[in-house]
Chains A and B, each alone.
Chain A
Amino acid sequence: MTVSHPVRGTTDVGPAASGGGAVGSHPVRRRHRRRLTGSSFTGSSFTPWLFLAPAVLIFVVFKYLPMIEGIRLSLYQVRPFLGDLWVGFDNYARIMGDERFRDAIGHTLVLAFGQTIGSMVIGFALALLLEGHAKSLWFVRSAVFLPVVAATAVIGEIWRLLLFPAPEGFVNTVLSVVGLGPWTFLDSPDTSLASVMFVGVWKGAPYDMVLILAGLAGIDRQQYEASALDGATTWQRIRHVTLPALRPVITILLTLASIRGLRVFTEVYVLTGGGPAGSTDVWMTRVFTVAFERNEIGVASAGSVMLFLITFALTVVVQLYRRRKEAG
């Protein structure tokens, strides 16, 4: 209620405050008023647009215009200096027929799925471990959160070195202590995608942890006490009290993570550049290669538009599902 009240209040006051001499003496307002006669519009209806102008201008020029331009270009064969050639849906057909694009779509889905689930499971485990009010736990939480803050490109460069494929590499050395490895990590087509996924989970899990912690804090302690009195084991308590209470948080995490997973670019570009042998090529690295190395802007635009449509559809589906769940 407090949310909608101030807005309504402002309109009640608006016309009264700006009426009288103020409007008449202000050239901008007067001109505006003449154009919109009769309605509830007063001089003050122009000011919101002044405040909004910078945001709207930037969004239109750098978001909406490129979006429209992207859709247009996806229907053309783009030829600099020669003029664009209308090709209809040929660019889309070429993407669907391109084996490397299909592979990339497969990698993207595997990566998005693995990173989403992996981050959530690890994030949940971390949240269970680090729940509580103690100062030391707060310190651990802050430390664990650091990977989220560091820029993806920086993390990629660090892990590229740590995952050095020789037996003397940092991670291989650590693994040899527990009798594992040595692994080739990013260097072989068999392990590269899993390695990229691992780095994604490493950066994503602490983020999920924070949201799950917020969810855990919202659970009524009396439910735990009741389950303890009923003699429930810890596992039963997690399964039947904690997890159901976390459902809204998990839905949000799934939506955010799957969308983020589909548009993945920086991690892959820095860690492997899509290699070796295209084994980690994802949607956006493919689009990037097609656009800036092969200069086929039309095809690349078609790829972008498809990615947008899928992301958009996914968001809408999840939102509808959430609404229905909440309503029902």
Chain B
Amino acid sequence: MSVADQCDTALGWSTGRQAWLSRTIRAVLCVGAVLLFTGPLITVFSGAFDHNPDPTRLSVLPNNPSMINFETAGSKGIWHYLTNSLIIAGGALLLQLSVSVFAAYALARKKFRGQAVVLLLVLTTMMLPEEVIAIPLSLVIGDLPLVHVSLRGTLLGVILPLGAWGFSIFVMTEFMKEIPVELEEAAKVDGAGELRIFAQIILPLVKPALGVVAVFGFNMIWEQYLLPLIVAADPSDYTLTVALLSLRSDEEVGPGIVLAGALLALVPSLIVYLSLQKSFLRGITTGAIKG
């Protein structure tokens, strides 16, 4: 076991053939870590398919496999809540991505008076916790300024406030700044207009950043709790995550009903994470360090 080998990691984990002790300890600890951090999520999968009304008897494998939890949850409107959640996620994400790309294009590729102010406006929203404006926001949603329309109880009331996100504009702007200006100049010489440059030159080049912004945007939207809660006019307007609270227990299937709901709320997050994992991990490091 060489010195260079041990210097590959901070703890000096050895990967050599002889270092069986080091390897065994590490393997055991890794299994422990995986169990600790994924075990609770696995119990959701098994619990959701288990007919087991006793809240104390959660297990890693279903004892009594059945779909009854989903049937019961279905009769309490879980598919309706899931639909609400999916419409909000799809609509808000689409809006958020377009808004970010447009704003970033102006911030990264143009120079104009007031640019610094806009940038400050965007960055300030990142420091402004959503929670602290929740109460006045609920009033604004109940009576939009100038047009005096109420969005209370509508999905649009949740979608619109999520439509612009400082983080996503910021990441997009940083990314667009890296595109060489020569490409744009060449297109201008060829007589391409503003929209054509935007759609045919800039957009295709920012695809990797779109991945990062999309996966974070989805996560941020799916995570929303307070916003759908304050926008809702009655429980049928809830998203799935908010509705979990009202599905906590059922006389017949016990906590199985909330586990069925939790599973449905968990699966979209897992799909998005597992399919765009690289973007996600890259985004965390760049986002945190630059922001």
Separation of A2 and B144 alpha carbons in the complex (Å): 42
Contact A211 B288 (CB under 8 A): yes
**Chain B: interface size category:** 35 or more
Taken together as a complex, chains A and B put the C-alpha atoms of A188 and B246 apart, in Å, by 22
- Residues on B close to A: CB < 8 A? 3-4, 6-13, 15, 26, 29-30, 33-34, 36-38, 40-41, 43-44, 47, 55-58, 98-100, 102-103, 105-113, 115, 118, 121-122, 125, 127-137, 139-140, 144-145, 160-161, 163-164, 169, 174, 177-181, 184-185, 188, 194, 198, 219, 222-223, 225-226, 230, 241-242, 244-245, 248, 255, 258-259, 261-262, 265-266, 269-270, 272-274, 277, 280-281, 284-285, 288-289
Pairwise interchain contact A161-B58, C-beta atoms closer than 8 A: yes
Minimal Cβ-Cβ distance residue in B for A11: B111
User: Do A300 and B135 touch (CB < 8 A)?
Assistant: yes
A144–B239 Cα distance when bound, in Å, is 27
A276 close to B (CB within 8 Å)? no
Between-chain CB contacts (< 8 Å), 11 pairs:
A2-B178, A5-B181, A146-B37, A149-B269, A151-B241, A151-B265, A202-B36, A219-B10, A224-B6, A256-B288, A263-B129
Selected contact of A9 from candidates B3, B130, B185, CB within 8 Å: B185
Q: In the complex, A128 Cα to B15 Cα: how many Å?
A: 14
Q: Give chain B residues whose Cβ lies under 8 Å from the Cβ of A10.
A: 109-111, 181, 184
Is there an interface contact between B131 and A147, defined as CB atoms closer than 8 Å?
no
Contacts of B111 in A (CB 8 A): 7-8, 10-11, 14
| CB <8 Å contact, A54 and B110 | no
Tell me, in angstroms, the Cα distance from A142 to B105 when the chains sit together.
33
Output the least CB separation between A221 and chain B (Å): 5
The tally of CB-CB contacts under 8 A between chains A and B is 319
Could you say which of A131, A140, A253, A307 has the most chain B C-beta atoms within 10 Å of its C-beta?
A: A140
Residues on A with C-beta less than 8 A from B280 are: 149
Point out the residues of chain B lying under 8 angstroms from A129, CB to CB: 11, 26, 29-30, 33
A side interface size, CB within 8 A? 112
**A310 to B245, alpha carbons, bound, how many Å?**
30
